[in-house]
Structure 1
Amino acid sequence: MLTIENGKFRATISEMGAELQSLVNRKDDYEFIWSDKGRGIWPRHAPILFPAIGKSNDDQYMIDGQLYPMHQHGFARDFPFTLVKHDKGSATFSLKSNDETRTMFPYDFELLVTYTLNKKGLSIDYTVKNVDKEDFAFSLGSHPGFQVAVNDEGDFDDYSLTLTPVDGAIKQFDIDPVPFRDGDISDLDAAEDNKIPLTHELLDDGLIILDNPEIQSISLSSPNQKHSVTLQVNDFPYLAIWSPEHKNAPFVCVEPFNGLPDEFGDPSDLFHKEGNVAVKARDQKQMSYQIDLV
């Protein structure tokens, strides 16, 4: 584990998956990130999803007609990263391709993840380097779980998500069967203008993936809680909302996605899957988002 801090905040990151474990407001020792603590609800905190998001049909996908295995959300979250740079308030981690990753993703790459604390909260920067002689495509997402109703201050149903801006109705990709897309897009009936009131019932049917690429920020807040979280997500065209189904879990994941789960059916082609990001040989793609904390 590695801890970074500044005058306002403290963050802890694990080398396994370069996963954020903790994000604390130092003034009142308030923890924003979910931790299961043996409750058996969800053992992760904020995994990185790469090079796939969601579940692949038959846990496989295709390149040039050849099938490759790919587990849900890819493999980056289950590999140790190497710490390559570190100072008091920032840390950069690296995952490079190896013999095991090439059995699932037959390309040479480097994924760099940098966490930097600032006066508003935490910036998370990603660089995907294609160090192969061939072009490739990938998905990349972040899956942070944020605590709600901490210390019994209010209820889950007191919270809402506020989206800015929204051009018309809030749209969602239809999920059927869970966790696959069915190819349709519909209005999110639970939305009220640019707000989504949270209930466990809303999330008991599985994840919600929003199709409003104009959204630049999403805020999680409650009138009964002085702390709130806002994600600045300009580089990510999709947002997912999830909490474990039928567990009444006291947290919600707000997930910036650059990529999408498969549509249900046959294994998809890496280069033709909707939402995937293409990167040329010897080139790179960069993306970032900011977590503002109150």
Structure 2
Amino acid sequence: MAVFPASGNTPVSTFIPQIWAAELMTPLREELVLASPTCVNSDYEGEINGPGDQVHINSLNRPTVVNYSRNADVNAQLLDTDDQILAIDHGKAFAFAVDDVDRIQSAGGGELIFKATEESIQALRIAADAYVGGKMIAGALAANKVTFTVGTDDVFNTLVDYGVILDNADVPLFRRFAVVRPEIKAAMLKHDKFIASSYGSAVPVQNGVIGSLAGFTIAVTPHLPTGVEMIVGSPVATTYGDNLVSLESFRHPTKFAHVVRGLHVAGAKVTRPEALIIASAA
């Protein structure tokens, strides 16, 4: 996907941060795994403007079911919601300067700036996934923190057992996921019950999704938190919101160079901890 204008056609002097920020969020979100819609929801109200913001999450309380007999009155129950606060407590920034000589000598003139910005967005993606992974680990139930041994435990049977845990917690069957390390991905790809999606085809892999197994959408990333082999669950468990709140370019105040800098902020909260399973190395 082309993220930036064609090299050589757009000097930094015509840099429009509002447009670039919107376009850059698309590849950022396509590369996210734990922070993608595969694994989290965006059931929140409000606009995220910067670190320290608070976003309201309204969750509906389940109406009460009552006994009924013929000709009996059924009183209407007023719907009730729980208002929880999503703290925007994740902030990552990048800033780099490109000397005029380096910019002129690089292929395509502004190509160096564009590539450096792309690399910075990649770093923001890795940081966002790590942030969400940490929130999931902290928010999951202690009873749902289990162990998995790569090369010993059968991955299909393990996911079947994890499905039972989620079933007993009334977690919806729809959109269950398992985010795994590359070593577990290798075992899954060799399993005869694995159903590949776009993996291995000409269709780009987005959000790390490679297929399905035992009723779970499978995604892979090498950036799971240290010691964790799999994070399994449903996107109903975790709410996530983010924004690339600033992306700007300006002349360096003391050097013959252009500066590009950006700020990405996010917040995540586990609201249904029973819908997560954390499988750590044994």
Tell me, yes or no, whether TM beats 0.5. no
| Greater RCO (CA < 8 Å, at least 6 residues apart) | 2
Instruction: Kindly indicate which of the two structures has a greater share of residues assigned to helix.
Output: 2
TM-score normalized with structure 2 length: 0.29
TM-score normalized with structure 1 length: 0.28
